[in-house]
Amino acid sequence: DPSDPNCIFSHDAQDALFVDPFEHHIKASSSCSSLSSFAEVEPDDSYMLMSVNEIINGTSTFPGLLPLIRHYVQETGGHLETIDLINSYMDLIQKRASGELMTTAKWMRNRIMKHPDYKNDSYISSKINSDIIKECWDITQGVIRPPELLPSDLVTVNCSSLPRRLSKNVNAFCS
C-alpha cells in the first residue's frame, strides 16, 4: 500500500534499513525490566516509530525481537547443536540490523558499483551480472566468505552431520 508509512519512509533511501524509522507494533512501556511486561498489547498505544535495529535488538522501552526469541529458545531448551545453530543465525541478524555487517542488498550494490565494467549508468551488463552470480555461488559453497557480509564465527550447516530430525527440513539445501 503506497500510503503505508513504512513504504513512504523506505522508498527514497538505499539504506532505509539504517536511515529511516519504521512503524512497529508494540506495547510502549516505561520499563523494560521483564519480558512479561510486553505480553498484552492494547490497540490504542501499540505503535511506535523505531529503526530496524531497535525493532530487532531492542531499546530501553522495548526488549527487541531477538532478545524475545533468545529468551524463548532458552526457556524451551533443546539439543545443543540446534541451539548453537539458531544462536549463530540470530547473531547474524543482530549484526545486520545494527549495521555491523552489510545486508545482502547493500553488499550486492557495493560489488556492482566497484565492478570494473560498471559505468555508473544503472545498467548491469551480462558480465557484471555473471560475476556477481558467481561470487554469490562461491559464498554459498564456502569458497569465499566476505567479512563485511558474514561473521567469521558463523556456524555453517554440514548436511552430512545434521541430526535426522533436522535433515528432513533442509534436504532441498543439501542435495
pLDDT in tens, 37-48: 555 556 656 677
Flag whether 44 is in a domain: yes
Q: Would you say residue 13 lies in a domain?
A: yes
Residue 102 domain flag: no
Q: Which residue, among 98, 111, 169, has the nearest Cα to 144 in the 3D structure?
A: 111
More confident residue, 20 or 137: 137
Is residue 45 in some structural domain? yes
Q: Give which of 131, 107, 128, 108 is closest to 117, Cα–Cα.
A: 128
Q: What is the pLDDT of residue 53?
A: 93
Can you give the residue range of the structural domain that contains 14? 5-69
Residue 148, domain member (yes or no):
no
**How confident is the model over 88-125, as pLDDT tens digits?**
999 999 999 999 999 999 999 999 999 999 999 999 99
Q: pLDDT value at position 146?
A: 95
Asked if the structure places residue 152 within a domain, the reply is no
Provide the 3-class DSSP secondary structure of residue 67: helix
Query: What residue spans of the chain are helical by DSSP H?
Result: 5-11, 16-19, 52-57, 65-76, 80-98, 104-114, 126-140, 164-174
Query: Residue 33 pLDDT > 60, yes or no?
Result: no
Between 164 and 136, the higher pLDDT residue: 136
Q: Would you state the torsion angle of the CA atoms of residues 166, 167, 169, 170, taken in this order, to the nearest 10 degrees? A: 120
Number of domains in the chain: 1
Does the global pTM surpass 0.85?
no
Q: Would 28 be classed as within a structural domain? A: yes
pLDDT(167) > 70: no
167 belongs to a structural domain: no
